Amino acid sequence: MREAYHVELENLAERLAGMSGQVADAMERATKAMLESDLELAERVISDDSLVDDARADCEEQAYALLALQAPVATDLRVVLAAIHAAESLERMGDLALHVAKAARRRHPDPVLPQNVRPYFDEMGKAAVRLARRAEQVIRTRDVEAARAIETDDDQVDDIHRHLFSVLMDKDWPHGVAAAVDVTLLGRFYERYADHAVSVARRMVFVVTGRMPGYSATEA
């Protein structure tokens, strides 16, 4: 029975890793659709979002079944609780990729972004996808140091996001209010996507150590 139970726990982790791969693919495609005004690719991201939603539902169903039927304790309980929270973050990452794809569809056939900010979004997109891919590996390996290193890519996204505000606030911004709104919203989508990837990694640190990163021994 215990062997079968641990197989179920590993299956749950594998489902989470698969979700992370799904949302990495979604953001990679959404960014490409946005930068290249590719309507077909945007539509693919939009239609595939339901697969991420289904994956979250499956993860949560399995996690709650394990809670109800196996009464896990210690590390096993942390795995189940982390899975529930991580599945939520991963679904939100999928939703954020969806928002990027919908922006590409809404503006098609016109480009979503002015030319002068496109390189920033190209870099944010690459960093966001790296975060999701690394989160996928961290879920599989439970490598604490790799999980903590994920925050480096998050810092890169934050830096670019902050720089975008200085670009938008420039008195010589020539692209009008609508473009400024698009840039602001899209920048926020990438920034939140990266934050959720970091949240997933922190959940894996919690699984291994029993503590969420950022909390001291007296703050539990």
Domains and their CATH numbers in the chain: 2-209 (1.20.58.220)
Note the pLDDT of residue 219: 33
Exposed/middle/buried for residue 166 (C-beta within 10 Å: 0-12, 13-18, 19+): exposed
Distance, CA of 78 to CA of 59 (rounded, Å): 15
pLDDT beneath 50: ranges in the chain: 215-220
User: Which has the closest alpha carbon to 49: 30, 33, 26, 28?
Assistant: 26
Query: What pLDDT shows up at residue 220?
Result: 30
In this prediction, residue 216 carries a pLDDT of: 39
3-class DSSP state for residue 106? Answer: helix
- DSSP state for residue 210 in the 8-state scheme: S
For the entire predicted model, the pTM comes to: 0.92
Query: What pLDDT score does 178 carry?
Result: 92
pLDDT value at residue 153? 82
pLDDT (0 to 100) of residue 51: 97
> How many secondary structure helices (H) and strands (E) does the chain include?
6, 0
Which are the contacts of 215, defined by CB distance < 8 A and separation ≥ 6?
none
- What per-residue confidence (pLDDT) applies to 2? 63
Helix (H) or strand (E) holding 176: helix 176-209
Can you read off the two tokens belonging to residue 21? 């791969």
